[in-house]
Amino acid sequence: MRKLFAVLVIAWIPTVLNAASPPNSFASNPEVQSFISEMSAKHGFETDWLNMRFSRLQPNETVLKAIRPPAVPELQRSWERYRARFLNDRRINTGVQFWQQNAATLARARAMFGVPESVIVAIIGVETEYGRNTGRFSVLQSLATLAFNYPPRAEFFRQQLEQYLLLARENDFDPLVLKGSYAGAIGIPQFMPGSQRSYAVDFDGDGKIDLTRSTVDAIGSVASFLAQHGWQEGGAVANQASLTGDPAPLLALGIKPEKTLGEMNSAGVIADGDPQQAAALIDLVTPEQATEYWVGFQNFYVITRYNRSSFYAMSVYQLAEAIRQRKDSTDDKPASGTN
């Protein structure tokens, strides 16, 4: 009877292990095996430990579908449609509430890093609607999918996969458990793993950086990120512009400020600001509508380091202004029942 039981147990074990590993798991991919060897040689990871984790996962087709550019070209750029996702009463009002609930932390971040409260709030509002939508995808699966099954950006996501595994080891959590965006961004401010390791801060002083549960750490980390990318305290972000000349040469320079506002004025750009201040011409395109032009200064460029899109940076800026204005009007209202 004991011998029969032993035979049954031996026969059952492979079935359980195979059931735990999905078909076409990452562990069967030669590129993943090469990556595991590199992580072992470079960082001292145990190959069995990594193999077990990659064997639990397979490429996620939803992730690949989400990251691919739209199939219909005209849907790729529409400022009007993009802006409407973030500039609405719900996100503005919730932003005011978030600011009021975290006023002391936001003020401390501004004092330490020079970044206005409104901009910090707006970034968190755009990224996760103030922590409400931090993502439902396995971070390890998303990063592995994009590192080994999405050639256009495989190098970047392979670097982020490396950073994520290091982050998990440093913070003593299993990389299988964390959820994030389809691109592998983490927590309330949606930091990529490399950004978390480089720019995030322990702003609540509890000895660890937790961007998934600590709003205080998230606020401090957003401010730290912007400051370390060159935020200019008290500096302008962007001003609306009009054109009398051909915008193409200035647009070709990109979103990094390369010309002074005076030089841009000579090229037909009309916008307020210090003529000696460097700026970039920003075009906000909506199909079948007149293009909206702005000049973006250093602080606009810094916001694009968070997400390298002029649409994104302008949405953050305009949401920040809308939240600030609504908060100011709310703060100025007399309390109910007062004379």
Distance between CA atoms of 60 and 24, rounded to whole angstroms? 11
Q: Is 129 a catalytic residue?
A: no
Question: What is the number of residues in the chain?
Answer: 339
- Both tokens assigned to 134: 């931090």
CA distances from 72 to 65, 66, 68, 285 (A): 14, 14, 11, 16
Distance between CA atoms of 332 and 330, rounded to whole angstroms? 5
CB 257 within 8 A of CB 296: yes
Three-class SS of residue 269? strand
State the angle between helix axes of 298-306 and 215-228 in degrees (0 to 180), rounded to the nearest 10.
Answer: 130
Q: Which residues contact 265 (CB under 8 A, 6 or more apart)?
A: 271, 275
User: What value, to the nearest 5°, has the Cα angle with vertex 61 and ends 60 and 64?
Assistant: 95
Per-residue buried b or exposed e for 302-313, using 16+ beta carbons within 10 Å of the residue's own CB: bbbbbbeebbbb
Distance between CA atoms of 326 and 321, rounded to whole angstroms? 9
Q: How far from chain centre, in Å, is Cα 339?
A: 46
- Which of 92, 173, 179 is CA-nearest to residue 130? 92
Catalytic residue among 31, 80, 127, 233: 127
- Mind telling me the catalytic residues? 127
